[in-house]
Amino acid sequence: MGDGIAMSAAVTLDNVTISYNRHPAVHHVSGTFEAGSLTAVAGPNGAGKSTLLKGIAGILSPDEGHISIKGATRKRIAYLPQAAELQRDFPMTVLHMIVTGYWQKTGGTGAITAAMREQASEALAAVGLRGFEKRPLSGLSAGQFQRALFARLLLQDAALMLLDEPFAAIDADTTAQLMDIILRWHQENRTVICVLHDFEQIKKYFPQCLLLARECIAWDSSAKALQPEHLLGARFFHDNWNAAPNLCERAV
């Protein structure tokens, strides 16, 4: 979906700290996700990966530092949270859910045109859900639900794609199909930032990787960022982090 023209956005983190109850989850992180880049964010559980994505999406605000986005307004940012954060028993059909991807254009679903509905059906076909328009969300498997969420992302036609563990709890075939969509976004020069745990998958598909353990351990090509010494450093730093530091006080 979209023509890939002028679709990229650069995201710069300038000494960013984001906290929960004044305890840093992301601590003094600086660097740039280049326009049109495809970057994985990796690290131990609880390392601040999801928090960082929420900061970039504008859901959380930095306590210190600044997040700047060049080349995209908030309307041109698409954010996919972890599946565990999403309610699946809401009484809604698949079509009604995915057309919410138009909300920045319409302000709701009331102004959906016939052309938009046709495009929504095309998006469902692109993720392998042709004919699922009238299916209730509660009747979808985990993999089908994730496919439907990707269809909604296709309708958003965003310059910046933020994906938080998009392959969690889905089968290999679904993962492969959704990975193809991510690679297509990259080919269209969109900027894609994706939280992932599978290091082999990162090294195979993602040219860049930010290895995070609340602080930046490495931010480089995936092959360099995921070298054993960096992974060991991330684990050591995470395991020895002071769980209750004062705001912006580095762990000793």
Over residues 113-122, the pLDDT tens digits come to 888 889 999 9
Nearest CA to 40 out of 202, 152, 175 is that of 202
Rounded Cα distance, 214 and 76, in Å: 27
Domains of the chain by start residue, with CATH: 10-239 (3.40.50.300)
Share of the chain above pLDDT 90, in %: 65
Q: 17, 64 in Cβ contact below 8 A? A: yes
Rounded to two decimals, what is the model's pTM? 0.88
pLDDT tens-digit readout, 129-159? 999 999 999 899 989 999 999 999 999 889 9
pLDDT of residue 6: 47
Provide the pLDDT for residue 5. Answer: 43
Bridge partners, 215 (sequence order): 213
Average pLDDT value over all residues in the chain: 87
